[in-house]
């Protein structure tokens, strides 16, 4: 592998050194907690929802630079969005907004997307709202992998 395959973009380093929306929300509408079984990194994402809009979002991540940067950038991408818009967020959106990730770090971006999906699942479940199929199947996949 070449050195470039391990190099982070300037945006990744910026978010890693100065993460946005770090911390927890007291009394959140939903919490998503996921882990990567291979590396052991974990992420917890908190959302506050008002009138179907994510008004506040914070995260706590114990992981690599890519995990922290992707957590930080997903909070920027999702804040102010509706639940429906947030559900459509993909790890490609996250990677693109960081100007890319080294190939060996692509899997790290999944942590943030999965944590967001789990926070939305938690919110919709608690509110007894209809949960879209893709959110349910992702939730089931994550449960299987963590048990």
Catalytic residues: 39, 108
Alpha carbon distance 135, 43 (integer Å):
18
- Asked if 45 is part of the footprint of ligand FES (rule: CB under 6 A), the reply reads no
114 makes contact with ligand FES (CB under 6 A): no
Q: Near ligand FES by CB under 6 A, which window of 62-70, 81-89, 91-99, 136-144?
A: 62-70
How many residues of this chain interact with ligand FES, rule: CB under 6 A? 10
Determine the interface stretch with ligand FES among 19-27, 58-66, 78-86, 126-134 (rule: CB under 6 A): 58-66
In a 3-state reduction of DSSP, which class is residue 27?
coil
Q: What is the CA radius of gyration of the chain?
A: 15
Q: Which residue has the tokens 């070449």?
A: 2
From the CB of residue 55, how many other CB atoms can be counted at a distance below 10 Å? 12
Closest CB to ligand FES among residues 29, 36:
36
- Cβ neighbours of residue 114 under 8 Å, at least 6 residues apart? 32, 34, 138, 142
**Which of 111, 116, 119, 135 lies at the binding interface for ligand FES (CB under 6 A)?**
111
* Contact status, residue 52 vs residue 29, Cβ threshold 8 Å: no
Binding site for ligand FES (CB under 6 A): 36, 39, 41, 63-64, 66-67, 105, 108, 111
């Amino acid at each position: 592998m070449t050195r470039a395959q391990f190099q982070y973009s300037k945006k990744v380093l910026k978010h890693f050194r100065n993460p946005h929306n770090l911390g927890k929300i007291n009394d959140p509408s939903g919490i998503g907690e996921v882990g990567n079984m291979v590396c052991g990194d974990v992420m917890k994402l908190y959302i506050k929802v008002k009138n179907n809009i994510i008004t506040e979002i914070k995260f706590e991540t114990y992981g690599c630079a890519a995990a922290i940067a992707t957590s930080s950038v997903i909070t920027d991408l999702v804040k102010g969005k509706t639940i429906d818009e947030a559900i459509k967020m993909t790890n490609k959106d996250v990677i693109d907004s960081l100007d890319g990730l080294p190939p060996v770090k692509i899997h790290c971006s999944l942590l943030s997307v999965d944590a967001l999906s789990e926070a939305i699942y938690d919110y919709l479940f608690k509110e007894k709202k209809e949960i879209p199929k893709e959110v349910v199947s992702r939730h089931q996949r994550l449960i299987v992998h963590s048990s």
